[in-house]
Structure 1
């Protein structure tokens, strides 16, 4: 979990109680393939944001898509405990990238606004997940 928190903090640092119930028979532990962490949705959104930033920042002249891909690779390394999970994370990244690739051919004020909003949203996700789940 510490590696996870370290990775999350690095990803966007640049400008970028239940009531007691009667005991039930013990169920076998769920496999990692079927059990997603409670922050799965936020991680998938973060992956999508990283993909969008990779495309948008390049067309707006920042030319740092390799850095965003590196951050995504670090996220997959830290959180991709199964092949299915790696595929979901990579798919979210690709979805974020392609969603803008099909629309934008040049930097526009809207693209710059999207970059600013994604940087803000990504930082909020990192703070929330690391604050709630980062031991």
Structure 2
């Protein structure tokens, strides 16, 4: 070991600086060595970033608190409560039937396949207005009816034609029931 080197480890060398006469006296000075990471053993690679991680861990909570000039949180405006209409359940079932019939008519390439989707759009426009929650509920029912048959029927079969006819009849019954009981 060199006479001026006291300790050499982890890429840091402690040296005693030489005075003019060449004597090594005085305080120790830390000198960084350039160490390539290839020559380091894995343990050293773990210990070198530890001081940086410790500083980040200490600085994290103070940074999370924010400065003094942060504005106070504003009160969130809650959406208006959902309007409950006495025929919502029947309307949701009608939307589900419309979704099923739309899928089956499109699958069997029957005339007027899009008329069921358009009918659902008219139902949404007339019944929900600005009530977003009711609109989402009815749209979900339509999609549920569509997907229910999409998971079962991939081809137009006689059973699909019978199911479409039954669902059309159920939809007509629901529409008549809703309008006669709750209509103006």
CA contact (8 A) 2:82 2:134 kept: no
Give the Å deviation of 1:63. 4.8
- Quote how far apart the aligned CAs of 1:108 are: 1.1
Distance in 2 (CA, whole Å) between partners of 1:120 and 1:80 is 24
1:82-108 CA-partner distances (Å, limit 9, x unpaired) = 111100010000001111111111111
Report the structure, 1 or 2, having the larger strand content: 2
Aligned positions, number: 105
Match of 1:109 among 158, 161, 172: 158
| 1:1-135 to 2 correspondences below 5 Å | 33-81=81-129, 82-135=131-184
- Alpha-carbon distance in structure 1 between the residues aligned to 2:154 and 2:97: 19
Gaps of 5+ in 2: 1-78
Normalised by the length of structure 2, the TM-score is 0.54
The structure whose residues are more often helix, as a share, is 1
Q: Is the Cα contact below 8 Å between 2:101 and 2:164 reproduced in 1?
A: yes
Q: Which has the larger radius of gyration?
A: 2
Root-mean-square deviation (Å): 1.6
Any stretches of 5+ residues in structure 1 without a counterpart?
A: 1-30
Deviation at 1:35, TM superposition (A): 3.1
Over 6 Å off, 4+ runs: none
